[in-house]
Chains A and B, each alone.
Chain A
């Protein structure tokens, strides 16, 4: 599986990323590769720098040093909106939907993006209809009331799916999901995992920051483990958990 993937194109290449907040080293010389159509899981204990890594890739935080390449293009230090325009979408750990807007209207924002306009030939058209289609793709029942309810009143599971729909609406090639599974029930997970698997089968690349290891290990092609901001393991799920460093980071030293 891995050998096969490595023959495909590199989509993201991070080299020697560093970020300090005051004296705290949040990310320490992190390097990793991501191939097209690959699902990469990023795990690590709390405070190990996972979300900082996402913010570095998506431009919300600028690295102190290091380099990020997307499809061979150096995107280090680009502002977030430029990075999103070339096809990197993300969800946020803290979900803050546009609460008083109906759910489908929340998707107008990504659909209004210059990226979507460029991809659809410079026209905007009827965004409401397109928005409802995307909501259906993530499991909002067609013409059901949830589509029209204010996003602030949606249950947690639907909010997570709404976040995912935003990435779909942006027609991103690389999707970064920051703790998408957190707070979801087993039933909700069962309905959201096929959506992600479908994305990967369509050739999209996905990076998932997760604490729900069992579910992640089932779908991820590769896992990167962070601890105190450094990569301590990088490999297929079954091997990664066998490493003593990883066991120590998660379970503590004896």
Chain B
């Protein structure tokens, strides 16, 4: 019996650029350069081209992209976080406190909040590093909710009022480009990091932590380092947004900051960082664009989410990547 089957073959140029790198025309060089150049060029042009409202959307998109990539990184080490809001909120509060109460200037308090935020997040989660799978996820889900309630109940750091009057950025130009460059740095930095020997060990922990432990590597220490790296990226997003709004308060621990990064990574495609980046750049502007239509916004938004997940379960990025690198054809096979 004859049957039809889809065959996927690497494009010749893909195979050549993979290994030996024998490119001999501008067209071929463009083929290799285009994927990394697209986000770079786009992000550099967008702040100049967008009206001021959409510039704000771009900033919050970048912040969500950072959270999504930091989520993706943790998943790569075997930690599924349901609480990126912890990183975001801790960074936001440290920035707010060190700027408003301690009086640190903006260019110092953001780096401080980034590093300290990463460290605090890693320390908070350190006791539960031994938990695996859904048990770890549950704890990460609880932390931001708990911190939010602690702020509310105890009234520390402004309580329900929050802290306002935080130094804004000198102008919107600087504001946009700071987060654009950090986002690009995180995107390419993460992609590079996971291909190093260090990244390989982190990935191995996800696959088989017993085997990693068996060769003398302390997996809990490695996981804590991964939490720190991921926490720094999330805390930067929080610290940055605090300065954009000039305010920090309980909403910094909102569930949005946990769920949106996760859905961005799922829609965009996990494990590549480019996917979670792309996902954030689809979901966040989409959610803004739908703002005009009122009550049905969440319904439509959810519909889009479900559509992407059902139609492209591998993620948009993986789909696009496959189309870019391979061609497909139908072949007849004997069954």
Contact = CB atoms under 8 A, between A and B. Distances in A.
A108 B197 contact: yes
A190 interface: no
B197 A85 contact: no
A50 interface: no
B210 A60 contact: yes
Contacts of B286: none
A198 to B, nearest CB: 21
Nearest to B206: A98
Interface string B186-222: 0000000000011011011001101111111111000
Contacts of A84: 213-217
A89 B207 contact: no
Given A81-B219, A96-B207, A99-B207, A112 B197 contact: yes
Interface string A118-162: 000000100100000000000000000000000000000000000
Interface size class of B (residues with CB under 8 A): 10 to 19
A58 interface: yes
Nearest to A128: B197
A113 B215 contact: yes
Interface in B202-244: 203-204, 207-208, 210-219
Given A96-B208, A109-B204, A85 B216 contact: yes
A235 interface: no
A92 B210 contact: yes
A114 B212 CA distance: 12
A109 B210 contact: no
B106 to A, nearest CB: 39
Contact of A80 (B200, B201, B204, B213): B213
B197 A81 contact: no
Given A108-B201, A124-B197, A81 B207 contact: no
Interface in A50-94: 58, 60, 79-82, 84-85, 89-90, 92
Nearest to A95: B211
Given A108-B201, A112-B201, A124-B197, A166 B215 contact: yes
Interface of B is mostly: helix
Contact of A112 (B207, B210, B217, B219): B217
A81 to B, nearest CB: 5
A89 B210 contact: no
A127 to B, nearest CB: 6
A98 B217 contact: no
A92 B211 CA distance: 8
A111 B212 CA distance: 11
Interface in A166-214: 166, 169-170
Contact of A115 (B210, B212, B213, B216): B216
A110 interface: yes
A221 B200 CA distance: 39
B218 A81 contact: yes
Contacts of B211: 92, 96, 109, 166
B214 A114 contact: no
Contacts of B208: 96, 98
Contacts of A109: 200-201, 204, 211-212, 215, 217
A90 B201 CA distance: 18
Nearest to B204: A109
A58 B215 CA distance: 10
Given A105-B200, A127-B197, A80 B207 contact: no
B198 A80 contact: no
Interface in B171-199: 197-198
A112 B222 CA distance: 12
Interface in B110-156: none
A114 B217 contact: yes
Nearest to B215: A110
Contacts of A79: 213, 218
B214 A89 contact: yes
Interface of B: 197-198, 200-201, 203-204, 207-208, 210-219
14 contacts: A60-B210, A60-B213, A79-B213, A81-B217, A96-B207, A98-B208, A101-B200, A109-B200, A109-B201, A109-B204, A109-B212, A109-B217, A113-B216, A115-B216
Interface of A: 58, 60, 79-82, 84-85, 89-90, 92, 96, 98-99, 101, 105, 108-115, 124, 127, 166, 169-170
Task: Please list the 10 inter-chain residue pairs (A to B) with the smallest Cβ-Cβ separation, ordered nearest first.
Answer: A84-B216, A110-B215, A85-B216, A113-B216, A80-B213, A81-B218, A115-B216, A96-B208, A113-B215, A109-B204
Given A89-B215, A90-B214, 8 more contacts: A84-B214, A84-B216, A84-B217, A92-B210, A96-B211, A108-B200, A127-B197, A169-B215
